[in-house]
Amino acid sequence: MPYKDLREFLKRLEREGELARIKLEVSPILEITEITDRVCKMPKGGKALLFEKVKDYSIPVLTNMLGSEKRIKLALGYERLEDIGWKLYKLLRPEIPHTFLEKLKRLPELKKLNDALPKTVKDGPVRDVIKKDNIDILEFPILQCWPEDGGRYITFGQVITKDPESGIRNVGLYRVQVLSPTELALHWQIHKDGNHHYWKAKRLGKRLEVAIAIGGDPVLSYVSSAPLPPEVDEYLFAGLIREEGVELVKGLTVDLEYPAYAEIVIEGYVDPEEPLVDEGPFGDHTGFYTPVDKYPKMHITAILHRKDPIYLATIVGKPPQEDKYIGWATERIFLPLIKFNLPEVVDYHLPAEGCFHNFCFVSIKKRYPGHAFKVAYALLGLGLMSLTKHVVVFDEDIDVHDFAQVLWAWGNNVDPIRDVQILKGPIDVLDHSTNEVGFGGKMIIDATSKWRSEGYTRVWPKEIRMSEEVKKK
């Protein structure tokens, strides 16, 4: 069953022994980060942390909510996350029924899709308290995570906009810097849908309305991070996962809808005619500070929240952090879509230690010369996989989640002069290694066993294996 809100999920975590309550006073300036960082680096991700006494605030702070395999499975409601991927596949690649019987068989699926559609309701707990005057975003315990951060940052907000042309909603997970009590800076990177909406609004000469929702059913926090195609509404995806539509309420000062059971919602707008503002520095998931750059400014027009709200935050920094498990869930959920496009793929892995975009390890059923390079090129053309810097391709018997096997095969099977290709393409804008922001080199490495038809001139040796008879004995 879906969780109605964040509070129901916290009760579940408490029953499962997955929640630690911090009762001593802790500052939102650096101290919550330090404690959370230590816990995130514990085996299996430690526990979710509820800081009940935050210095200068009466509002508690929750961190590391999704920071373990167990908790993210509890949040999404699935033991096998690939099952979510097959649901998404059916949405994006619907099978066309050719006979009346096939149409009848599709009816339950169509009902499930209809049940998953977001539902607009008249009211919700997020409207318990409404403020349109004397707004001060710092009435909430927004964190400063790292010593050289440019200020306080909202780190786990569902940033909601609509395409100014199509009206399709986008919900993205973007960091948001507090500039003043009524102004925020939105970190809309060039590859993200929020950025596309901004530039469309600028071209059309329109204000872009924005809502930032914090909390609610934990599946909503997850889907805001998912790399969905632009035409797929993240709240519809949440409904597919839950098989129950997300309840939304209409904004008071914006023509947007947001979760009725969120803890906090910030309404406002971006004026594309205004100059961009300085945003940053920010200690990011790469483990480095991203420098100051220019991003859009959001003006706050209203703040709504529940009575006694809980402030939800996530910490990023040197891995592993909570995003290790969020990224792992995305990797598992999107495997079916990758297999649909590339049936030869056995598995893939985007290691958190490589900040997700630095490495993709993929195993394939190799059938012809150059097959490894074909798969790598295809992966670099799939959505945000295009930002991957190193793609390493292995034979199907290599477990790409096992670094020992990966390094063994990579070290033994690769001749750099023959098996490495250097390309150019888009790069994650947070990557500081390239000369240009968002553009640089890529490396494809073929770590599969080599064939004569691929130019190998010797006899490929046999791998050492014990006889089955001896193993059985």
Query: Using one digit for the tens of pLDDT, what is the confidence trace for 11-69?
Result: 999 999 999 999 999 999 999 999 999 999 999 999 999 999 999 999 999 999 999 99
In a domain, 430, yes or no: yes
In a domain, 176, yes or no: yes
In a domain, 432, yes or no: yes
In this structure, the answer to whether residues 297 and 354 fall within a common structural domain is no
| Residue type, position 112, single letter | K
Distance of CA 53 to the CA centre of its chain: 29
- Is the Cβ–Cβ distance between 87 and 116 less than 8 Å? no
In this structure, the answer to whether residues 151 and 223 fall within a common structural domain is yes
In this structure, the answer to whether residues 242 and 130 fall within a common structural domain is yes
In this structure, the answer to whether residues 374 and 236 fall within a common structural domain is no
In this structure, the answer to whether residues 300 and 157 fall within a common structural domain is yes
In this structure, the answer to whether residues 264 and 402 fall within a common structural domain is no
Q: What is the average pLDDT value for the chain, to the nearest integer?
A: 94
pLDDT-derived band at 107, boundaries 50, 70, 90: low
In this structure, the answer to whether residues 199 and 290 fall within a common structural domain is yes
Tell me the C-alpha distance between 253 and 156, whole Å: 22
pLDDT score of 223 more than 60: yes
Look at 90-94, 118-122, 177-181, 275-279 and tell me which has the smallest mean pLDDT.
Answer: 90-94
92-101 own/partner pairs: CB under 8 Å, 24+ apart: 92/229, 92/232, 92/337, 93/340
pLDDT given at position 101? 58
In a domain, 289, yes or no: yes
| Boundary (domain end) residue, out of 277, 305, 333 | 305
| Boundary (domain end) residue, out of 286, 305, 324 | 305
User: CATH code at 247?
Assistant: 2.30.110.10
Between 116 and 169, residue with greater pLDDT: 169
Residue 217 known to be catalytic: no
For residue 281, whether the previous peptide bond is cis, meaning omega lies within 30 degrees of 0, is yes
In a domain, 67, yes or no: no
pLDDT-derived band at 465, boundaries 50, 70, 90: very high
In a domain, 447, yes or no: yes
pLDDT-derived band at 310, boundaries 50, 70, 90: very high
What pTM value is reported for the model? 0.93
pLDDT score of 2 more than 80: no
Using CA atoms, how far residue 336 sits from 61, 85, 89, 90, in Å, is: 36, 6, 7, 10
pLDDT-derived band at 94, boundaries 50, 70, 90: low
pLDDT score of 102 more than 90: no
User: CATH code at 423?
Assistant: 3.40.1670.10
The count of domains in the chain is: 2
In this structure, the answer to whether residues 156 and 272 fall within a common structural domain is yes
Mean pLDDT in residue range 402-429? 96
In this structure, the answer to whether residues 253 and 359 fall within a common structural domain is no
List the domain range (segments joined by +) for residue 439: 342-454
Burial grade of 399 (CB within 10 A; 0-12, 13-18, 19 or more)? middle
Tell me the C-alpha distance between 360 and 318, whole Å: 19
pLDDT score of 97 more than 60: no
How much of the chain exceeds pLDDT 90, in percent?
90
pLDDT given at position 109? 65
Alpha-carbon Rg for the chain, nearest whole angstrom, is: 24
Phi and psi of 282, rounded to 5°? -150, 130
pLDDT-derived band at 91, boundaries 50, 70, 90: confident
In a domain, 189, yes or no: yes
In a domain, 384, yes or no: yes
Mean pLDDT in residue range 455-465? 94
In this structure, the answer to whether residues 287 and 349 fall within a common structural domain is no
- Is the Cβ–Cβ distance between 275 and 229 less than 8 Å? no
Which member of 193, 217, 233, 284 is catalytic?
284
In this structure, the answer to whether residues 200 and 297 fall within a common structural domain is yes
For the stretch 242-293, pLDDT in tens is: 999 999 999 999 999 999 999 999 999 999 999 999 999 999 999 999 999 9
For the stretch 315-374, pLDDT in tens is: 999 999 999 999 999 999 999 999 999 999 999 999 999 998 999 999 999 999 999 999
Q: Which residues of 56-95 are buried (b: 16+ CB within 10 A; e: fewer)?
A: ebebbbbbbbbbbbebbbbbbbbeebeebbbbbeebeeee
In the block, which residue shows the tokens 């968002």? 438
In this structure, the answer to whether residues 364 and 262 fall within a common structural domain is no
For the stretch 123-158, pLDDT in tens is: 999 999 999 999 999 999 999 999 999 999 999 999
| Residue type, position 213, single letter | A
**Checking phi first, is residue 130 left (phi over 0); if not, alpha (psi -120 to 50) or beta?**
beta
Using CA atoms, how far residue 217 sits from 17, 311, 359, in Å, is: 19, 14, 31
Q: Which two tokens stand for residue 420?
A: 């490495």
Residues 6+ apart with CB under 8 A from 470: none
